[in-house]
Amino acid sequence: MVTPEDDFPHPVPPQAFMTWKENWVFPAVDTDRRVASLFHFSLRPGEGEGIFTAKFCIDGWEHRYVGRSPVPRDLTRFVPVANEKITFEVVEAGSRFHITYTGDELDADVWYSARFHAWDFDDGPLAPGESTLGDRGRHVFHFMHYEQALQHEGTITIKAGPRAGETIAVSGYANRDHSWGWRQDLTFRHHHWLCASFEDRFVEGTVMNETCYPHGDKFGGWISTEAGNQAVTTVDTSDAYWLAPGEPLPQLSRDVRYRIATAAGESVTVIAHIASDYGRLYLNARSPDRAEVYQDVQIFCDMTLEETGERGSGVLELGKFYDGPDAATLTARSASRLPA
């Protein structure tokens, strides 16, 4: 039915100002050899390009590659996902994946295998209240998103610097996420993404705060064991010391504790030992005029399950929006333990 109001301009849905993206990310850490690695793929078919990222921290030495390459409008034809330097293959859906990278300073050949079943964040509880995106915006992620605990193994061959010619065999815990839908990272206010791997379980706790949901933090995640996956309902972030509004991320030089509750009424406490990490790799987003930045740092570190004292490892990704007067010149490495 046409109403008198229909003769006037209409509200614009938030998605009109977002970009359709399909993303994959594969973080991994070899604690024995002190090697952190991160592969990130972000396909933007509406813009005709993909952003392909490979980042490594090898016992304190870093290598970074970010490349933009054309992608087709129909992404179903883009198999394998690849550009001139990185190739990502689904070897066996849900259980085995392969990434190769050829760079100026190093080459990498890494295989990933499933530890537990994947978790679809749509299977978790909806946040209370309304969102400007409808029920889609009440999920912890307002786009389609699933994740999985992995193991990784492979080789990294160094081609430059004092270790040129050395090939490192890497192995250890890893994880992956795959997401697709409308998104704009500068609508995020802050987030926590805890991925903690232990011998008999994987603990994932996510907290998202974004402008499409005006009621505060949204919670999600799950705990994987051989018995299956259990949904996370809340994540206590009271130990976080970097959430003051109007300030960029600090140096993050103190460990942080998260208490995670599940739908079954259980709870676990994970300590992320970020003060003594294996590497910090960055996925920052900026506005075209550089007046706004969403800082995003993945910190690869040891983890402790406080209730049992069990040690594991994984990645804690932290994000925070900043639009202060120095946003244009803010270093990408402001969340480093060491001066940038």
The pair of three-digit structure tokens given for residue 298, joined into one six-digit string:
């993945």
Residue 172: left (phi > 0), alpha (psi -120 to 50), or beta?
Answer: left
CA atoms 26, 14, 207, 64: torsion sign = positive
339 pLDDT higher than 70: no
183: domain CATH number is 2.40.370.10
Q: What is the 3-state secondary structure (H, E, C) of the chain?
A: CCCHHHHCCCCCCHHHHCEEEEEEEEEEEECCCCEEEEEEEEEECCCCEEEEEEEEEECCEEEEEEEEEECCCCHHHCCCEECCCEEEEEEECCCEEEEEEECCCEEEEEEEEECCCCEEHHHCCCCCCCCCCHHHHHCCCCCEEEEEEEEEEEEEEECCCCCCCCEEEEEEEEEEEEEEEEECHHHEEEEEEEEEEECCEEEEEEEEEECCCCCCCEEEEEEEECCEEEEEEEEECCCCCCCCCCCCCCCCCCCEEEEEEECCCCEEEEEECHHHCCEEEECCEECCCCCCEEEEEEEEEEEEECCCCEEEEEEEEEEEEECCCCCCCCCCCCCCCCCC
**For the segment 100-147, what is each residue's pLDDT rounded down to a tens digit?**
999 999 999 999 999 999 999 999 999 999 999 999 999 999 999 999
Could you tell me if residue 5 is inside a domain?
no
59: in domain: yes
pLDDT of the residue at 340: 35
Q: Is residue 173 part of a domain?
A: yes
Domain contains 161: yes
**Is residue 3 assigned to a domain?**
no
The reply to whether omega before 80 is within 30° of 0 (cis) is yes
pLDDT of residue 337: 55
Decide if 242 contacts 256 (C-beta within 8 A): no
What pLDDT score was predicted for residue 198? 98
The region of weakest confidence among 168-177, 215-224, 330-339 is 330-339
| Whole-angstrom Cα Rg for the chain | 20
Q: How many CB atoms lie within 10 A of CB 160?
A: 13
Residue 235 is part of which domain span?
Answer: 18-322
Beta bridge pairs of residue 53: 40, 66
> Whole-angstrom Cα distance, residue 154 to residue 99?
10
Higher pLDDT, 332 or 175: 175
Instruction: State if pTM tops 0.85.
Output: yes
Please check whether residue 165 lies inside any domain of the structure: yes
Q: How many domains does one find in the chain?
A: 1
Q: Is residue 334 part of a domain?
A: no
- Beta-bridged to residue 31, according to DSSP, are none
Q: How sure is the predictor about 335, in pLDDT bands with cuts at 50, 70 and 90?
A: low
- Under 8 Å between Cβ of 156 and 107: yes
Q: Which residues contact 132 (CB under 8 A, 6 or more apart)?
A: 14, 211, 212, 213, 214
Q: Is the pLDDT of residue 264 over 70?
A: yes
Residue 31 CA to residue 301 CA, distance in Å, equals 8
pLDDT tens digits along 5-35: 888 888 888 888 889 999 999 999 999 999 9
| Gap between the Cα atoms of 65 and 105, Å rounded | 10
Hey, how many other C-beta atoms are within 10 angstroms of the C-beta on 86? Answer: 24
Beta strands 279-282; 267-272: pairing state = unpaired
Domain contains 6: no
Distance separating alpha carbons of residues 172 and 150, to the nearest angstrom: 9
